[in-house]
């Protein structure tokens, strides 16, 4: 446990006070209407949304996890975030963000009405996406609770536990930080979320650079060579991982076996299969979708996602690589002492405690707190939008004054927070929760949400039964495959949901033809739309169908390579692997130029 200097504590306190101040300062603007509260009245520039989006993805739990996997898997750890997959951002950047923003709606559930109309199937689809949105937000909030509690007790040394009610010190700190985050998020709505996230992004970026500079200053390649197994610097993967820690740290081999990543080629195959489906499905109904819908225009929504990988990945991986380098150089003896109880997620707290000087330590901890608070506040603002806009306003009190909806948002936020905290306290380790969210929960989401973009015949009933099959599958299917990881379970979950989607669609009548044509005409997706395309073009001679499938596909492939360069470049830099750095810079420049001419210059609303 580290002891903080008064200067570090002062910096942390000033950061928390400043964050609360911004939230309350923006509260008046947010309280004007439900659209102002949840979408900032579509008045924010794309670069502010891009910084906010990056800040919202820079969370403590994910950072601790990523530092741990970098230590164990080396450069191959750059592939492991494909579990989410991280390149869903590239799909959004290239085409999905523009498609989504053209709707002009407030939430993902409201978008369902835009897609399927007002029939019974559409209403069922609308209801099930509200349920999924709330479940997703609660699951992610539980994941954040687990991470912030585990992190806070390593640098705050006061004992806040209450034994009489079974409240551990870890849980007590999680509750305290969540309370502060909840106050400014609820009070200021989306304005305060974005405003505080821009401030938090600046602090986090400075912190990342400081960590990288310190790591490069106190380490050298000789230390790395002595403490790393053969193949640690190899980015490319074979069918097997072929990374042997047995002579250096046997517990790392045990962790690889526990993770189930030994057959890395099979894992990559699963990640690519899952990634295509999950990325084509578009964003889950949470903060990503909210930022798209709050952009000023479709092209601005795309630009936002073009900025996000740059401002998120480069600084974040400078920090991750810095902590990883410090751990490789100096932390292996401590990890070896832990024996079978080794906890690789302690790599990050150890590096902060031992190698970050006074003053900078306070700034860094403020930055990591900012990472948690920005991500948590983003989900906190996104979830209640579905309860208020898509349930209360749509079905219970559609004619209430705007102030009433804003007040209901406060209550909805408080409810989501309490349930999310409860989920976090019982949810398990960070990695277990990560794998459950990205494997099992997303497995039930991908099929219906991919089909909604590309198939004209897909109707509201198909969406409802596909999503329902997915939600039921998360509960029913895992017991049949007890030895399968959540990633492996994604396949039967996807097939189960796909069966529900297609059966529900083909056994029920088409949606209202005019609603489908309106969706197609306004969104202009590519895919299997031939009957609708013919009717729209017959009615509107000026309509131009989307013929950019091949260009979008090429841009996605190039974009994924571009994003991978942003990941590995900081790792090569901090570990002083100059040949790897040179190649990654070269590929980054080539892919950036290609995307500038074949994507950015061709954006349209």
* 3 state SS for 164-209: HHCECHHHHHHHHHHHHHHHHHHHHHHHHHHHHHHHHHHHHHHHHH
CA dihedral 11, 13, 18, 19 (to 10 degrees): 110
pLDDT, position 430: 46
Cβ(100)–Cβ(301) under 8 Å? yes
Decide which of 436 and 336 is more confident. 336
Find, among 196, 174, 200, 225, the residue nearest to 316 by Cα.
Answer: 200
Residue 157 neighbours by CB distance under 10 Å: 11
**Average pLDDT for the chain:** 81
**Per residue in 69-122, pLDDT tens?**
998 999 999 998 887 778 889 999 999 999 999 988 776 667 888 899 888 888
Given the candidates 1.10.10, 1.25.40, 3.40.50, 1.20.1730, the CATH classification of the domain at 6-443+544-602 is 1.20.1730
In the chain, the percentage of residues whose pLDDT exceeds 90 is 29
How far is it, in rounded angstroms, from Cα 356 to Cα 213?
A: 11
Among 136-150, 218-232, 470-484, the range of highest mean pLDDT:
218-232
How far is it, in rounded angstroms, from Cα 156 to Cα 594?
A: 47
Decide which of 502 and 173 is more confident. 502
Phi, psi (rounded to 5 degrees) for 193: -60, -50
Classify 40 as helix, strand or coil.
helix
pLDDT band at 394 (very low <50, low <70, confident <90, very high): confident
Classify 528 as helix, strand or coil.
strand
**Per residue in 257-276, pLDDT tens?**
887 777 788 888 888 888 88
pLDDT, position 2: 55
* Domain limits, the chain: 6-443+544-602
Helices first, then strands: H and E counts in the chain: 28, 0
Among 241-245, 385-389, 594-598, the range of highest mean pLDDT:
594-598
Mean pLDDT of 330-351: 77
**Strand-pair partners of 389:** none
Alpha helices in 26-107 (DSSP H): 27-30, 34-39, 46-57, 60-73, 88-91, 97-101
Query: Over the range 234-268, which residues count as b (16 or more CB within 10 Å of their CB) and which as e?
Result: ebebeeebebebeebbebbbebbeebebeebeebb
Contacts of 431 (CB under 8 A, 6+ apart): 65, 259
In the chain, the percentage of residues whose pLDDT exceeds 70 is 82
């Amino acid at each position: 446990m580290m002891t903080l200097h008064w200067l570090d504590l002062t910096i942390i306190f000033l950061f928390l006070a400043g964050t609360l101040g911004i939230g309350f300062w923006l509260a008046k603007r947010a309280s004007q209407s439900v659209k102002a509260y949840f979408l900032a009245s579509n008045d924010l520039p794309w670069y502010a949304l891009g910084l906010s989006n990056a800040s919202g993805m820079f969370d403590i739990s994910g950072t601790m996890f990523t530092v741990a996997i970098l230590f164990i898997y080396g450069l191959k750890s750059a592939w492991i975030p494909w579990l989410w997959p991280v390149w869903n951002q590239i799909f959004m950047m290239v085409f999905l963000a523009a498609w989504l923003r053209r709707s002009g709606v407030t939430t993902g559930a409201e978008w369902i009405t835009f897609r399927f109309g007002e029939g019974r199937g559409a209403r069922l689809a609308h209801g099930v996406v509200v349920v999924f949105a709330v479940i997703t937000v609660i699951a992610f909030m539980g994941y954040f609770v687990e991470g912030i509690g585990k992190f806070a007790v390593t640098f705050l040394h006061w004992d806040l536990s209450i034994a009489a009610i079974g409240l551990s010190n870890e849980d007590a700190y999680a509750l305290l930080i969540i309370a502060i985050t909840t106050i400014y998020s609820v009070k200021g709505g989306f304005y305060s979320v974005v405003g505080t996230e821009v401030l938090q992004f600046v602090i986090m970026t400075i912190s990342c650079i400081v960590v990288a500079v310190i790591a490069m200053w106190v380490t050298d390649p000789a230390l790395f060579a002595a403490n790393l197994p053969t193949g640690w610097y190899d980015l490319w993967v074979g069918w097997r991982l072929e990374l042997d820690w047995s002579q250096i740290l046997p517990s790392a081999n045990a962790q690889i076996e526990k993770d189930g990543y030994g057959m890395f080629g099979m894992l990559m195959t699963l990640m690519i299969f899952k990634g295509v489906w999950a990325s084509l499905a578009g964003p889950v109904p949470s903060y990503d979708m909210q930022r798209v819908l709050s952009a000023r225009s479709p092209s601005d929504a795309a630009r936002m996602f073009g900025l996000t990988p740059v401002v998120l990945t480069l600084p974040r991986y400078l920090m991750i690589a810095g902590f990883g380098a410090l751990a490789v150089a100096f932390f292996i003896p401590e990890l070896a002492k832990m024996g079978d109880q080794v906890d690789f997620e302690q790599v990050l707290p150890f590096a902060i405690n031992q190698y970050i000087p006074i003053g900078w330590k306070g700034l860094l901890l403020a930055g990591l707190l900012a990472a948690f608070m920005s991500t948590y506040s983003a989900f906190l603002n996104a979830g209640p939008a579905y309860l208020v806009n898509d349930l209360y306003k749509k079905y219970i009190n559609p004619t209430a004054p705007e102030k009433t909806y804003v007040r209901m948002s406060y209550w909805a936020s408080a409810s989501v927070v309490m349930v999310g905290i409860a989920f976090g306290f019982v949810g398990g380790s960070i990695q277990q929760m990560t794998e459950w969210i990205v494997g099992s929960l997303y497995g039930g989401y991908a099929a219906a949400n991919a089909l909604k973009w590309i198939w004209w015949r897909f109707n509201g009933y198909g969406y409802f039964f596909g999503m329902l099959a997915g939600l039921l599958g998360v509960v029913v299917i895992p017991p049949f495959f007890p030895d399968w990881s959540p990633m492996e379970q994604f396949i039967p979950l996807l097939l189960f949901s796909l069966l529900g989607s297609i059966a529900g669609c083909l056994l029920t009548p088409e949606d209202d033809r005019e609603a489908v044509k309106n969706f197609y005409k306004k969104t202009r997706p590519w895919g299997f739309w031939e009957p609708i395309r013919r009717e729209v073009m017959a009615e509107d001679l000026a309509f131009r169908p989307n013929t950019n499938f091949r260009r979008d596909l090429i841009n996605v492939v190039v974009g994924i390579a571009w994003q991978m360069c942003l990941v590995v470049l900081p790792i090569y830099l901090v570990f002083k692997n100059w040949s790897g750095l040179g190649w990654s810079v070269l590929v980054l420049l080539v892919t950036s130029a290609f995307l500038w001419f074949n994507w950015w210059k061709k954006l349209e609303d």
